[in-house]
Chains A and B, each alone.
Chain A
């Protein structure tokens, strides 16, 4: 319609219509058309006006810097202003998301805003779930979020599996560190740890406990006669017999070589003697099967009872080493008295 001839042609047509139909009827139509043509003419004669209107919106999508000043033609148009502000808000919202800032909200309704808000909500939920995992909740799983879900879930499953593996390994190594590998009994170091704790407890609460020191009789001879393999079998069997003879609260250990030690918490001397005798009989009566038949072994046992009664001045100077040493002295007495017996510590030793 920028072609003048086309415009004149249209006016001519309107004039003919006016003549044919009558001015009154055509008058309004004529005025309308003139307005349309006039507006179109303005726009058509100024193609940059469309560009000016579109540019601010376009800039919001493409340009780093945006102009806040809107073109005069639309500066009072509420719909245009609303569109401009909405896109500006979306732009600001997306920039925050891109920078990892999930605190900004998008207060807009509609499909496009809704899609972005769903994305935002999913990111916030993923963040929350990640925090739960970091606090130790490895049951967290993401549902229906495509690759986010599969990757997140795979990561958490792997973390959980690794953690469980580490716990198992730690348990295994902890056990190895405190256990005698041949007999399965607590090793000397671990026995001391437990004995120290029991000693402290007994002193604090004025309790009693007993210690049994045990030595296999003529063990060197067994090793020399039958070999170390049989010697190991003997040690294992004696350890089994000791464990079978103990009560639930008693705590055994391999002290070293062919020596074993047992801690009996809250056990008076006469009770300890019963336990020791049970152990001794169990060892004596148990035949150990070897390749060529069987052998029997015996053991000597010494007992020391720690009594933390009120007014006992001796108690405060004792240490766990001294207590074990006294049990050892009692063991020595048992050996001297002929072996395969239980002896009690006395101050004469």
Chain B
């Protein structure tokens, strides 16, 4: 018995093979972005911009943690993490992950994600939009290192760049 109605767990993703024997597990990105975009709009109207960003970041973080636990499997070192993550993001069509900088000892990383699911091809805005991805990466890194991470998107398709760039550092 759950203590809340919408408490998330991985099994809530369901059995796709069973549920969609003909249509299969994939859909159009526009559908995903339609859902995300409308969520963001309504949340902002109700709770304001800052709260909306926090909600998206926190959701992304939860997703990242669940993804690490259920998709990536046993990871024993950083190189293995990157490889598993690259493979998973490619296979699932989330984006093309590349490492720009990594200092495992300091816990400081710069990643880029090209053809990002959230933003690639969006019209130009004057702000970075991949807040959910920031949280997602933070959740992954926290599961791997056991330490809290702050992740910030510093370049985005929406700000004119052609790839999304994220800086990740251990939280103070």
- Do residues B79 and A128 form an inter-chain contact, with CB atoms below 8 A? no
What secondary structure prevails in chain A residues at the interface with B? helix
Which of B13-21, B53-61, B63-71, B157-165 lies at the binding interface? B157-165
Q: Which residues of B contact A144 (CB under 8 A)?
A: 96, 114-115
Interface residues of A in 103-123 (CB under 8 A from B): 109-115, 117-118, 121-122
Looking at the assembled complex, report how far the CB atom of A298 sits from the nearest CB atom of chain B, in whole angstroms.
57
How many B residues touch A, CB cutoff 8 Å?
23
Q: Does A319 touch B at the CB level, under 8 Å?
A: no
Residue from B79, B100, B112, B124 in contact with A132 in the complex, judged by beta carbons closer than 8 Å: B79
**Across the interface, which residues of B come within 8 angstroms of A124, CB to CB?**
99-101, 110
* A232 interface residue (CB < 8 Å to B): no
Q: Say which residue of A110, A121, A128 sits within 8 Å of B102 (CB atoms).
A: A128
Establish whether residues B160 and A125, one from each chain, have CB atoms under 8 Å apart when the complex forms.
Answer: no
From A141, which residue of chain B is reached at the shortest CB distance? B86
C-alpha gap A122/B102 in the complex (Å):
14
Are A113 and B98 neighbours in the complex by a CB distance under 8 Å? no
Q: A117 near B161 (CB under 8 angstroms)?
A: yes
Is A137 interfacial (CB 8 A cutoff)? Answer: yes
Question: Within the complex, which residue of A109, A122, A125, A137 is in contact with B161, where a contact is CB–CB below 8 Å?
Answer: A109
A35: interface (CB < 8 Å): no
In the bound complex, residues from chain B placing their C-beta under 8 Å from that of A125 are: 98-100, 112
A114 lies within 8 A of B79 (CB): no
**Which one, B96, B100, B102, B161, contacts A114 given CB within 8 A?**
B161
Inter-chain contact B165/A139, CB cutoff 8 Å: no
Interface flags, A302-340, vs B, CB<8A=1, else 0: 000000000000000000000000000000000000000
Separation of A137 and B115 alpha carbons in the complex (Å): 26
Check B99–A114 contact: CB distance below 8 A. Answer: no
Within the assembled complex, what's the spacing in Å between the Cα atoms of A283 and B133? 74
Contact residues in B for A122 (Cβ distance below 8 Å): 98
Contact of A113 among B96, B112, B157, B160 (CB under 8 A): B160
Knowing that A113-B160, A128-B101 touch, tell me 10 more A-B residue pairs with CB under 8 angstroms: A111-B124, A114-B157, A114-B161, A114-B162, A117-B155, A117-B162, A118-B161, A122-B98, A143-B90, A144-B114
* Interface residue? B83 (CB, 8 A): yes
Q: Which of B90-138 contact A (CB under 8 A)?
A: 90, 96, 98-102, 110, 112, 114-115, 124, 126
Nearest residue (CB) in B for A108 is B160
Contact A117 B165 (CB under 8 A): yes
Across the interface, do B155 and A139 meet the contact criterion of CB distance under 8 Å?
A: no
**Chain B residues in 8 Å Cβ range of A110:** 159-160
Q: In chain B, what residue has the closest Cβ to A123?
A: B100
Q: Contacts of B124 on A, CB cut-off 8 Å?
A: 111
B145-161 at interface with A (beta carbon < 8 Å): 155, 157, 159-161
- Taken together as a complex, chains A and B put the C-alpha atoms of A121 and B111 apart, in Å, by 9
Residue of A112, A124, A125, A132 with most chain B CB atoms under a 10 A cut-off: A125
List residues 140-165 of chain A with CB under 8 A from any CB of chain B: 143-144
Q: Is the CB of B160 within 8 A of A111?
A: yes
Taking the nearest CB of chain B, how far is it from the CB of A102, in angstroms? 9
Residue of B nearest to A113 (CB): B160
- A128 near B100 with CB under 8 A, answer yes
- Chain B residues in 8 Å Cβ range of A132: 79
CA gap between A115 and B83 in the complex, in Å: 25
* B166, chain A: closest CB distance, angstroms: 11
Residue pairs across A and B with Cβ atoms less than 8 A apart, 9 shown, are: A111-B160, A113-B161, A114-B160, A114-B162, A117-B155, A118-B163, A122-B98, A124-B110, A132-B79
B98 closest partner in A (C-beta) = A125
Closest 6 pairs (CB-CB, A-B): A114-B161, A125-B98, A110-B160, A118-B162, A124-B100, A114-B160
Query: Which residues of the partner chain B approach A114 to less than 8 Å between Cβ atoms?
Result: 155, 157, 159-163
Residues on A with beta carbons closer than 8 Å to the beta carbon of B79: 132, 137
- Bound-state CA distance A143–B95 (Å) is 11
Contacts of B160 in A (CB 8 A): 109-114
Give complex CA distance A113, B163 in Å: 11
Shortest C-beta distance, A122 to chain B (Å), equals 7
- Does the CB pair A115–B162 fall under 8 Å? yes
Minimum C-beta distance from A109 to chain B (A)? 4
Whether B83 and A139, one on each chain, are in contact in the complex, defined by CB atoms closer than 8 angstroms, is yes
